[in-house]
Structure 1
Amino acid sequence: MKFTVHSRGDHDSNVISNNITAYLQEYKLEIDVVEPEIVISVGGDGTMLKAFHKYSHRLAETAFVGIHTGHLGFYADWQPDELEKLVIHIAKTPFKVVEYPVLEVIIRYHDDVTSERYLALNECSLRSSEGSIVMDIEIKGEHFETFRGDGLCISTPSGSTAYNKALGGAIIHPSLPAIQVAEMASINNRVYRTIGSPLVLPQHHTCLLKPSSKMDFQISIDHLTKLQRGVKSIQCRVAEEKIRFARFRPFPFWKRVKESFIAD
């Protein structure tokens, strides 16, 4: 099996990364940073996001597993003191693959030629660099509402516990193929009226966001933020690709939610 290790970069994470690399090579596994069959993320959820984006072009061939070296995360399910157990599992145990949906974002521009496609594991968020944004929101090709406010967040089920939750969005089990649209401080008056609640869209529904004027936008895809100019529309939907996690033992999602937010 070909593997690679992606470290957060701090001292503890680097030590663990070096150890797991050495152990797996002792078991005759081959390190391959270009075409790995399994990516081992050592750090936190942010480290897993970076690993996902580095290998988002080969999601069908690569599985991910996480070791957390900080606060308990939603993507890293192994503790540093379980390193030897994980190594034996990777080297000798066929792992179960669990697939979770990711978000496809297509940004089109007013030149009608250029477009950019991104995949997000957690969310896509957008804000204006000039104040409030005004967006026409279409669902399945039909106008739904005109939004005015600070911004919008479109999240995956996996990302529903991140920025989406802070905006009052629902927590969705990551096995459900859906996306969620949450508002940031919407303005409601006689001119602008929004639903005021997060929207959960199924796999076959596309959400199209159309700016009402030519404004510059800060668009974030997970941890990556870029200033976009001349945006004509932002199309969001459940991607055909999925992220694949290597599971060697149960990973109860609702237990992790409880431990992260309400447990003593």
Structure 2
Amino acid sequence: MTEGKVAIIQNKQKSSFAAKKKLISLLKEAHYTIDQNDPDIVISIGGDGTFLSAFHEFEHKLDHIRFLGVHTGHLGFYTDWRDFELEELVSNLSNKEEPTISYPLLDVQVKYKKQSEPKRFLAINEATIKRATRTMVADVYIKDELFERFRGDGLSVSTPTGSTAYNKSVGGAVLHPRINAFQLAEIASLNNRVFRTLGSPIIISDSEWLTIRLEESSDYVVTIDRSTIKHDEIESISFKIANERIHFASYRHMHFWRRVKDAFIGEV
């Protein structure tokens, strides 16, 4: 009797390949099947970047897949297990009473001028909008009501789990991942006697949505997590909390604020 199907995604470090080899052996001993196409559980081995790649590879199957991260370098926000803890990981994985935790995702819909239907993306961390060579001008709508006209380098929209990534570096707030909301942060906005924006991060609830309507231009750079998407003739980009959520398997809980402290402050 098999326990389930597992896919493993690793980075190119030697330590990650070694961990993968050992993990496959342990999983097979515990009666798991390795299945890279239709898994029940996806395990990433590496760092947060590897985890993001694993998520996007299987984002179309979120309704029945659980994720788990093993880190072979520095502690990440998505990788809770170390490569020397694989026996314990597999043991916990086999415990059917082990609780799972789920976190919100960002629904991103890009509307192109020449297409009637927007193109939809999911982000686990964030989406950003910038212009390549000039100041970006955009109207920001919350629930279809104009909130402000933004001028500056760009805008970042992040999930709670993404709030510790690029969002934090541009002055956004750090949100606990159990908060079902998303965040808009300005990137180097122009604020003077002529141009004025709020100038502060905005936390938007799961019952609201955000639309950014752009000036006509062909030089926008739009990213979804680590990927840059096609940006020709974008009319607007809308954001909301997605109906889908990411589910974690065998989640060994580390207090979120302790994780933030370890990552950014260290010993006091």
How many residues of Structure 1 are paired with residues of Structure 2 in the alignment?
264
Matching residue within 64, 69, 74 for 1:66? 69
Aligned counterpart, 1:81: 84
For 1:7, the equivalent position in structure 2 comes to: 10
Alignment RMSD: 1.3
Task: Return the match for 1:244 from 242, 247, 256.
Answer: 247
Matched, 1:120 2:119: no
1:211 aligns with 2:188: no
Corresponding position of 2:94? 91
Could you list the runs of 5+ residues in structure 2 that have no partner in the other structure? Answer: none
**Runs of at least 4 residues of structure 1 off by over 4 A?**
none
2:187 to 184, 189, 197: 184
Matched, 1:234 2:229: no
Pick one of 256, 260, 263 that aligns with 2:259.
Answer: 256
Distance 1:248 1:118, change over 3 A: closer
Greater displacement, 214-223 / 155-164: 214-223
- Residue 248 of structure 1 deviates from its aligned partner by 4.4
How many Å separate the matches in 2 of 1:24 and 1:239?
Answer: 32
CA–CA separation in structure 2 for the residues paired with 1:112 and 1:61: 32
Match of 2:144 in 1: 141
**Cα offset for 1:256?**
0.5
Q: CA offset at residue 22 of structure 1?
A: 1.6
Identity %: 42
In the TM superposition, what whole-angstrom CA distance separates every residue of 1:187-240 from its partner, at most 9, and x where no partner exists?
113332100000000001110000122342111100101340110100011111
Secondary structure of the structure 2 residue equivalent to 1:228: coil
Taking the aligned partners of 1:243 and 1:192, their CA distance within structure 2 comes to 39
Distance 1:77 1:132 in 2: 40
Match of 1:35 among 29, 35, 38: 38
Q: Shift in Å at residue 115 of structure 1?
A: 2.2
> Structure 1: which amino acid aligns with 2:29?
E
Q: Tell me which amino acid in the other structure corresponds to 2:155.
A: L
Deviation per residue, 1:162-200 (Å, 9 max, x gap): 000001111000011111000110011333210000000
Unaligned runs of 5+ in 1: none
TM-score scaled by length of structure 2: 0.95
